[in-house]
Amino acid sequence: MTLTRQDLMSLEQYAEQRAAFRARVIEHKKQRRVALGPHAALYFEDALTMQYQVQEMLRIERIFEAAGIQEELDVYNPLIPDGQNWKATFMVEYPDETERRAALAQLVGIEERVYVQVADFDRVYPICNEDLDRSSAEKTASVHFMRFELSPAMCAAVKEGAAIRAGVDHANYRVEVGLQPSVRDSLAADLD
Protein backbone atom coordinates (compact mmCIF):
# COMPACT_ATOMS: atom_id res chain seq x y z
CA MET A 1 0.00 0.00 0.00
CA THR A 2 1.10 3.53 -0.65
CA LEU A 3 -0.47 6.68 0.66
CA THR A 4 -2.05 9.20 -1.70
CA ARG A 5 -3.32 12.72 -1.14
CA GLN A 6 -6.80 11.26 -0.70
CA ASP A 7 -5.57 9.40 2.43
CA LEU A 8 -4.58 12.65 4.11
CA MET A 9 -6.55 15.23 6.03
CA SER A 10 -6.39 18.89 5.10
CA LEU A 11 -4.43 21.09 7.52
CA GLU A 12 -7.73 22.33 8.96
CA GLN A 13 -9.15 18.80 9.38
CA TYR A 14 -5.90 17.62 10.92
CA ALA A 15 -5.88 20.49 13.41
CA GLU A 16 -9.37 19.45 14.53
CA GLN A 17 -8.57 15.73 14.73
CA ARG A 18 -4.89 15.81 15.71
CA ALA A 19 -5.24 14.94 19.40
CA ALA A 20 -7.44 11.90 18.76
CA PHE A 21 -5.38 10.77 15.75
CA ARG A 22 -2.14 11.16 17.68
CA ALA A 23 -3.50 9.11 20.61
CA ARG A 24 -4.56 6.37 18.17
CA VAL A 25 -1.12 6.30 16.53
CA ILE A 26 0.73 6.23 19.87
CA GLU A 27 -1.34 3.24 20.97
CA HIS A 28 -0.73 1.55 17.60
CA LYS A 29 3.03 2.14 17.83
CA LYS A 30 3.18 0.33 21.18
CA GLN A 31 2.39 -2.86 19.27
CA ARG A 32 5.17 -2.18 16.75
CA ARG A 33 8.17 -1.42 19.01
CA VAL A 34 10.69 -4.12 19.84
CA ALA A 35 13.24 -3.30 22.54
CA LEU A 36 16.60 -4.88 21.75
CA GLY A 37 18.24 -4.69 25.12
CA PRO A 38 18.59 -1.46 27.09
CA HIS A 39 20.06 0.68 24.28
CA ALA A 40 18.42 -0.24 20.99
CA ALA A 41 14.96 -0.67 19.52
CA LEU A 42 13.20 -1.47 16.27
CA TYR A 43 10.16 0.63 15.41
CA PHE A 44 8.26 -1.19 12.68
CA GLU A 45 6.56 1.18 10.26
CA ASP A 46 3.30 0.80 8.36
CA ALA A 47 0.76 2.95 6.52
CA LEU A 48 -0.69 4.41 9.73
CA THR A 49 2.68 5.39 11.22
CA MET A 50 3.68 6.98 7.91
CA GLN A 51 0.35 8.79 7.54
CA TYR A 52 0.99 10.31 10.96
CA GLN A 53 4.52 11.29 9.94
CA VAL A 54 3.30 12.94 6.73
CA GLN A 55 0.46 14.74 8.52
CA GLU A 56 2.89 16.08 11.12
CA MET A 57 5.36 17.26 8.46
CA LEU A 58 2.58 19.01 6.53
CA ARG A 59 1.39 20.68 9.75
CA ILE A 60 4.85 21.77 10.93
CA GLU A 61 5.92 23.07 7.52
CA ARG A 62 2.44 24.43 6.67
CA ILE A 63 2.40 22.59 3.36
CA PHE A 64 -0.93 22.71 1.55
CA GLU A 65 0.01 22.82 -2.14
CA ALA A 66 -0.29 19.62 -4.17
CA ALA A 67 3.38 19.48 -5.20
CA GLY A 68 4.61 19.90 -1.64
CA ILE A 69 2.21 17.24 -0.35
CA GLN A 70 3.37 14.85 -3.07
CA GLU A 71 7.01 15.48 -2.11
CA GLU A 72 6.26 14.39 1.48
CA LEU A 73 4.40 11.31 0.23
CA ASP A 74 7.37 10.45 -1.99
CA VAL A 75 9.71 10.64 1.02
CA TYR A 76 7.60 8.50 3.38
CA ASN A 77 5.86 5.97 1.11
CA PRO A 78 9.05 3.89 0.70
CA LEU A 79 8.92 3.21 4.46
CA ILE A 80 5.60 1.34 4.18
CA PRO A 81 5.91 -2.47 3.91
CA ASP A 82 4.83 -3.92 0.57
CA GLY A 83 3.40 -7.25 1.75
CA GLN A 84 6.61 -9.30 1.54
CA ASN A 85 8.76 -7.35 3.97
CA TRP A 86 8.93 -5.38 7.19
CA LYS A 87 10.32 -1.90 7.31
CA ALA A 88 11.65 -0.44 10.50
CA THR A 89 13.47 2.45 12.05
CA PHE A 90 16.35 1.12 14.18
CA MET A 91 17.47 3.42 16.97
CA VAL A 92 20.50 3.25 19.20
CA GLU A 93 19.26 4.89 22.39
CA TYR A 94 21.62 6.38 24.98
CA PRO A 95 20.13 9.38 26.82
CA ASP A 96 23.52 10.72 27.91
CA GLU A 97 25.28 12.44 24.98
CA THR A 98 28.81 11.54 26.08
CA GLU A 99 27.86 7.90 26.57
CA ARG A 100 26.03 7.89 23.21
CA ARG A 101 29.06 9.25 21.32
CA ALA A 102 31.33 6.60 22.88
CA ALA A 103 28.82 3.83 22.11
CA LEU A 104 28.31 4.91 18.49
CA ALA A 105 32.09 4.68 17.98
CA GLN A 106 32.03 1.12 19.37
CA LEU A 107 29.00 0.06 17.32
CA VAL A 108 30.18 0.74 13.76
CA GLY A 109 28.27 -1.61 11.46
CA ILE A 110 25.59 -2.51 14.02
CA GLU A 111 22.86 -1.78 11.48
CA GLU A 112 24.10 -4.70 9.36
CA ARG A 113 23.93 -7.08 12.35
CA VAL A 114 20.27 -6.54 13.30
CA TYR A 115 18.03 -9.46 12.35
CA VAL A 116 14.57 -10.99 12.51
CA GLN A 117 13.92 -14.71 12.53
CA VAL A 118 10.64 -16.44 11.77
CA ALA A 119 10.29 -19.82 13.53
CA ASP A 120 13.23 -22.04 12.49
CA PHE A 121 13.93 -20.25 9.20
CA ASP A 122 17.30 -18.57 8.69
CA ARG A 123 17.82 -15.15 10.17
CA VAL A 124 16.94 -12.23 7.90
CA TYR A 125 19.43 -9.37 8.01
CA PRO A 126 18.28 -5.99 6.73
CA ILE A 127 18.90 -3.90 3.70
CA CYS A 128 19.88 -0.64 5.38
CA ASN A 129 19.74 3.06 4.73
CA GLU A 130 18.70 2.98 1.11
CA ASP A 131 18.19 6.74 1.21
CA LEU A 132 21.77 7.63 2.27
CA ASP A 133 24.77 6.23 4.10
CA ARG A 134 24.49 6.87 7.82
CA SER A 135 27.78 5.42 9.06
CA SER A 136 31.48 6.06 8.71
CA ALA A 137 34.57 4.11 9.71
CA GLU A 138 34.65 6.11 12.97
CA LYS A 139 31.03 5.82 14.11
CA THR A 140 27.55 4.66 13.28
CA ALA A 141 24.46 6.84 13.36
CA SER A 142 21.89 6.57 16.11
CA VAL A 143 19.06 6.15 13.54
CA HIS A 144 18.94 3.68 10.65
CA PHE A 145 16.17 2.72 8.22
CA MET A 146 15.87 -1.00 7.46
CA ARG A 147 13.99 -3.37 5.22
CA PHE A 148 13.70 -7.07 6.07
CA GLU A 149 12.80 -9.11 2.97
CA LEU A 150 10.86 -12.28 3.80
CA SER A 151 10.39 -15.39 1.69
CA PRO A 152 6.85 -16.50 0.79
CA ALA A 153 7.27 -19.44 3.20
CA MET A 154 8.22 -17.07 6.03
CA CYS A 155 5.23 -14.84 5.29
CA ALA A 156 2.90 -17.85 5.33
CA ALA A 157 4.39 -19.07 8.62
CA VAL A 158 3.90 -15.67 10.25
CA LYS A 159 0.30 -15.53 9.01
CA GLU A 160 -0.21 -18.98 10.58
CA GLY A 161 1.09 -17.80 13.96
CA ALA A 162 4.79 -18.69 13.87
CA ALA A 163 7.00 -17.18 16.55
CA ILE A 164 9.26 -14.27 15.61
CA ARG A 165 12.56 -13.36 17.22
CA ALA A 166 14.64 -10.24 16.72
CA GLY A 167 18.17 -9.49 17.73
CA VAL A 168 21.58 -8.00 17.18
CA ASP A 169 24.77 -10.03 16.80
CA HIS A 170 27.35 -7.24 16.73
CA ALA A 171 30.64 -7.96 18.55
CA ASN A 172 29.95 -5.12 21.01
CA TYR A 173 26.18 -5.54 21.36
CA ARG A 174 24.44 -8.91 21.47
CA VAL A 175 20.81 -9.48 22.26
CA GLU A 176 17.91 -11.65 21.10
CA VAL A 177 14.26 -11.34 22.11
CA GLY A 178 11.02 -13.09 21.26
CA LEU A 179 8.27 -10.79 20.02
CA GLN A 180 5.20 -10.49 22.20
CA PRO A 181 2.06 -12.01 20.60
CA SER A 182 0.48 -8.56 20.13
CA VAL A 183 3.57 -7.31 18.27
CA ARG A 184 3.75 -10.52 16.23
CA ASP A 185 0.09 -10.10 15.25
CA SER A 186 0.63 -6.46 14.29
CA LEU A 187 3.55 -7.41 12.03
CA ALA A 188 1.57 -10.30 10.53
CA ALA A 189 -0.95 -7.75 9.31
CA ASP A 190 1.77 -6.20 7.13
CA LEU A 191 2.12 -9.37 5.07
CA ASP A 192 0.12 -10.53 2.04
Domain that holds residue 183: 8-188
Strands (E), the chain: 33-35, 40-44, 85-92, 114-118, 127-128, 143-149, 164-170, 173-178
Helix axes 11-30, 47-61, angle to 10 degrees: 140
Residue 1: pLDDT band with limits 50, 70, 90: confident
Is the Cβ–Cβ distance between 146 and 134 less than 8 Å? no
165: in domain? yes
- The neighbour count for residue 7, using CB atoms within 10 Å, is 14
- The neighbour count for residue 21, using CB atoms within 10 Å, is 18
How confident is the model over 74-95, as a mean pLDDT? 94
pLDDT at 102: 95
More confident residue, 138 or 159: 159
34: in domain? yes
pLDDT tens digits for range 13-44: 999 999 999 999 999 999 999 999 999 999 99
3: in domain? no
Check pLDDT > 80 for residue 132: no
Q: What is the mean pLDDT of the chain?
A: 94
Check pLDDT > 70 for residue 56: yes
120: in domain? yes
What is the number of domains present in the chain?
1
Model confidence, pTM: 0.90
2: in domain? no
166: in domain? yes
Ranges of H-type helices in 95-151: 97-106
115: in domain? yes
1: in domain? no
